[in-house]
């Protein structure tokens, strides 16, 4: 999921469940664009390829989407004059968040790390 921002609790709950949330400027993304998200240590990028630059693609008639004349026209292979799709640099993940995401969520991450260490039992009465 891509958005300009997420509430902190929503973000952490999503990470704990293995859902990738990417914070980035979404103003250059239009309905129907193809997106490719690349996540690496210290960097997250989103490649945006407008639907009208896909090979053989045309906007459906009457879909209500205005033609964006600011986007460069594509050749028959879908390449724009700049050589490819637009790229948005997103907010990178801290290393521990990336580790949790790569494991598929908090539970799989903890299983891989040996789980929690059991502390002294309080019998449900607190300390």
Please, which residues bridge with residue 43 across strands? 40
Report the CATH fold assignment for 2-55+72-111. Answer: Aconitase; domain 4 (3.20.19)
Closest to 14 (Cα-Cα) out of 88, 89, 100: 100
pLDDT tens-place string over residues 2-56: 999 999 999 999 999 999 999 999 988 888 889 999 998 888 999 988 877 766 6
- Residue ranges per structural domain of the chain: 2-55+72-111
Q: Can you tell me whether residue 112 is helix, strand or coil?
A: helix
23-36 burial: b if 16+ Cβ within 10 Å, else e:
bbeeebbeeebeee
User: What digits encode the pLDDT tens for the residues 70-125?
Assistant: 444 444 444 343 334 589 999 999 999 999 999 999 999 999 988 766 556 555 55
Q: What pLDDT is recorded for position 125?
A: 54
What is the rounded distance in angstroms from the CA atom of residue 111 to the CA atom of residue 95?
A: 18
Q: Which residues contact 115 (CB under 8 A, 6 or more apart)?
A: none
| Whether the Cβ atoms of residue 51 and residue 33 lie closer than 8 Å to each other | yes
Looking up tokens 């640099």 gives: 89
């Amino acid at each position: 999921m891509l958005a300009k921002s997420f509430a902190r609790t929503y973000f952490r709950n999503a990470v704990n469940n293995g859902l990738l949330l990417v914070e980035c400027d979404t103003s250059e993304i239009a309905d129907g664009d193809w997106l490719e998200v690349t996540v690496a240590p210290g960097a997250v990028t989103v490649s945006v390829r407008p639907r009208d630059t896909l090979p053989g693609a045309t906007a459906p008639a009457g879909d209500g989407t205005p033609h964006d004349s600011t986007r460069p026209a594509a050749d028959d292979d879908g390449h724009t004059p700049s050589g490819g799709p637009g790229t948005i640099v997103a907010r990178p993940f801290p290393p521990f968040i990336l580790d949790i995401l790569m494991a598929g969520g908090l539970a799989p991450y903890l299983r891989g790390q040996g789980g929690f260490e059991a502390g002294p039992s309080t019998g449900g009465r607190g300390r």
